[in-house]
Amino acid sequence: MTMDKDISLSRDAIADPDVMAANAHADLLAKPQPAPASPPPVPQAAGASRFHESARAQVQGAATYVDDIAEVKGTLHAAPILSTVAHGRLLGVDGTAALAMPGVRGVVLAGDIPGDPLLGNFSHDEPVFATDTVQHIGQVIGLVLADTAMQARRAARQVKCHIDALPPILSVHDALQAQSHVLPPVFVKRGDAGEALQRARHTLSGTLEVGGQEHFYLEGQIAYVLPQEQNQWLVYSSTQHPGEIQHWVSHALGIDNHAVRVECRRMGGGFGGKETQSGHMAVWAAVAARKLQRPVKLRMDRDDDFLVTGKRHPFAYDYTVGFDDSGRLQGLKLTMAVNCGFSADLSGPVADRAVFHADNAYFLEDVEIASYRCKTNTQSHTAFRGFGGPQGMVVIEAIMGDIARQLGLDPLAVRRRNLYGVGERDITHYQMKIEDNILAPLLLKLEQTSAYAERRQAISAWNAGSPVIRRGIALTPVKFGISFTATLFNQAGALVHVYTDGSCQVNHGGTEMGQGLNTKVCQIVADELGIAFEQVLATASDTSKVPNASATAASAGTDLNARAAQYAARNVRDNLAQFVAGLDGCGAGAVRFQGGEVHTPAGSRRFTEVVKLAYANRIQLWSDGFYRTPKIHYDKATLTGRPFYYFAYGAACTEVAIDTLTGESRVLKVDILHDVGNSINPAIDIGQIEGGFVQGMGWLTTEQLVWNDKGLLTTHAPSTYKIPTTGDVPEHFKVDLWPEPNREDNVFGSKAVGEPPLMLAISVFEALRDAVAQARPGCRVQLQAPATAENVLRALGGWS
């Protein structure tokens, strides 16, 4: 038998012991021979711009989302019964009219929950369905089940909820006055800020308010729950956290986790809005499916999605800062009031990360930060790309701009003056030493490539001759910590299967939401096995394959899951290496997998042939892999330690123009230099940078959430809530990658890229504040975010 002969085993061969013995003996004696017609060399997969693994299917409309899954016969559709009162006592629910409508099969309320009536989250403070009280307009009281989605939605509006209204708390200022909190306040101190402010040459006090943000994922919230045999349940969910869905559903149904299987092939966007919020949909649908013993699909209408789900947390700030003549900070007292909504959800870690990132890129020597987690009668706010980091950074950048204008200095000079140092001034206010600082050279490089100094002069000249259209410019840095601050979540598992034709399947605990996680995982696995990228297939996230997986969040999806998959692939490779080493009489360390071939000092074999040979000799061709992030630790009681494995850095230079008569604004130019380490996939990374920046720009300019005095979110559709469009993206939009690998031992030397780019858009807000200052020289800039036309006009003094 030669290596070129097909050694796949037929049924007859398997049935014949003599044939099996002969094949095994021949296999063991097989020697590598040059292939007569070698296929073209296989290029390295990682480090190259590869198409997103689902791109072609998505363009063709062939990529399956939850709503595309063929519905099982008997499937019912659910629609939520919503509170129309922000705060009140729920006295009763009358579903008589709804039940009389065509196609309606049932109403589900809190009394139908077989398990815990509270959701199975850490804070345990949020009901599955409202029981004796309602706490915001849009809180789900129950479901109506019908044969079609439209029948269910129409019927849900006919359910009468008897509510005795109570006074609502609708702002953080009212919550602070009423001492209304979802969690206790947190205080972080270093040095003596009070004494430092007293001795400072200059002091400045101010306030800032930054609004929330709707996730506006293209695919809305959806869950499809199917009863299985023996009280088991299959849940299809558009979720960033299948493991949490499994836990929440089993908790509500009063059964063990192993009886619930959750699957998610892909999401049509998530941005944090499907980390916990998707769990509500799955639980509601599961409770309904159990009551009616029918499959249930809950697909949220976009308006209902707005009213029901949480947003990015709005923040209000109050600060006093001391500084010297050069603009260097000498002391800072900062208060953050976080609008958490009616329950804790993820507000604790979001608010904590805002405290961690209140420094952004700057050394805070004497600092005192107070963080108040306020309870209001609005939707329970939740994770959103950046997870509190943007709200921490935006205020310190505003402070830097205010200091510069107070002193008559270039804001970039003040920012540079306060940067963390290397070997000095390198300990954060939460006691973490910064060991990978590239801030100074990165800012210098962008300053040069963007021609910042020349453009600043040109803008001053423009403004001198333009009384109506004023321009501004800002160059701001980003230093964003990578890891879950809750240390236990920094772990991941994966499975790699190699089949006898040489193809490979990988499954991991992460979820694909368009960010390219599966593509990067396939690239890493392909290189670990030395095979083509096209030979590796990533399959749906599934709790029955990888258990207890963390959410795909904190920008750690690739760091965790690609490393776990790499380790799983490495185990298979090591099995094959030992086998081939035995054939060729060399050490396993001398066996190399590269270019679709397996090389030893004795010669080369094609990978597919080695796999077939290994299978015939009963070598394991699948394995699991597990990874946990090293070095991190964190004391939640004191908010000190090393919560982050490393930092991702970046900077953006943005030029804007404002119309001083109308308050309208436009972004004219954007130059970005961002640190992704060794990029696994430059095209995907640059796409993430561009998308993150535009999303951040929307948060700080056009995306305004407005609640009326009754507590109703009035901006609950695209007609009133304005996300950026292609017309808002400037023609000059330049993105460059910093050419240095991660200094920590991360997969491929890469760095996370999901969240950090969003904070580059703070340069837009600072450029707008610069333009307002150019229009009102000598006046303090009081611009709130988002910088809508109305807010810009107010800052210009033209709107009361």
What does the alpha-carbon distance between residue 796 and residue 792 come to, in Å, rounded to a whole number? Answer: 6
Pairing of strands 633-635, 233-237: unpaired
Question: What does the CA dihedral 474, 475, 476, 479 come to, rounded to 10 degrees?
Answer: 170
What does the alpha-carbon distance between residue 689 and residue 737 come to, in Å, rounded to a whole number? Answer: 10
What does the alpha-carbon distance between residue 482 and residue 558 come to, in Å, rounded to a whole number? Answer: 11
Q: Tokens 């969003």 sit at which residue? A: 758
Catalytic residue among 219, 528, 744, 755: 755
What does the alpha-carbon distance between residue 10 and residue 5 come to, in Å, rounded to a whole number? Answer: 14
Contact by Cβ (8 Å): 382, 273: yes
Residue-level length of the chain:
800
Instruction: Tell me the sheet residues that pair with 623.
Output: 496
**Which sign, positive or negative, has the C-alpha torsion 247, 249, 254, 260?**
negative
133 backbone dihedrals φ, ψ, rounded to 5°: -135, 155
What does the alpha-carbon distance between residue 578 and residue 591 come to, in Å, rounded to a whole number? Answer: 8
Instruction: Tell me the sheet residues that pair with 624.
Output: 495
What does the alpha-carbon distance between residue 195 and residue 231 come to, in Å, rounded to a whole number? Answer: 64
Q: Which has the closest alpha carbon to 768: 467, 448, 476?
A: 476
Q: Which helix (H) or strand (E) holds 264?
A: strand 260-264
Question: What does the CA dihedral 407, 411, 417, 418 come to, rounded to 10 degrees?
Answer: 100
Please measure the distance between the N-terminal and C-terminal CA atoms of the chain and give it in whole angstroms. Answer: 89
Instruction: Tell me the sheet residues that pair with 656.
Output: 472, 667
Q: Which has the closest alpha carbon to 331: 359, 354, 364, 357?
A: 364
- Cβ atoms < 10 Å from Cβ of 199: 11
The DSSP result for 355-367, as a single string, is: HHTTSTTB--SSE
What residues contact 345, with CB distance under 8 A and at least 6 apart?
A: 121, 123, 126, 276, 310, 380, 381, 382
Q: Name the packing angle between helices 607-616 and 557-584 (round to 10°).
A: 70
Pairing of strands 222-227, 491-498: unpaired
Contact by Cβ (8 Å): 40, 213: no
Task: Label residue 796 exposed, middle or buried (CB < 10 Å: 0-12, 13-18, 19+).
Answer: buried
| Residue 755 is among the residues annotated as catalytic for this protein | yes
Hey, which residues are catalytic here?
755
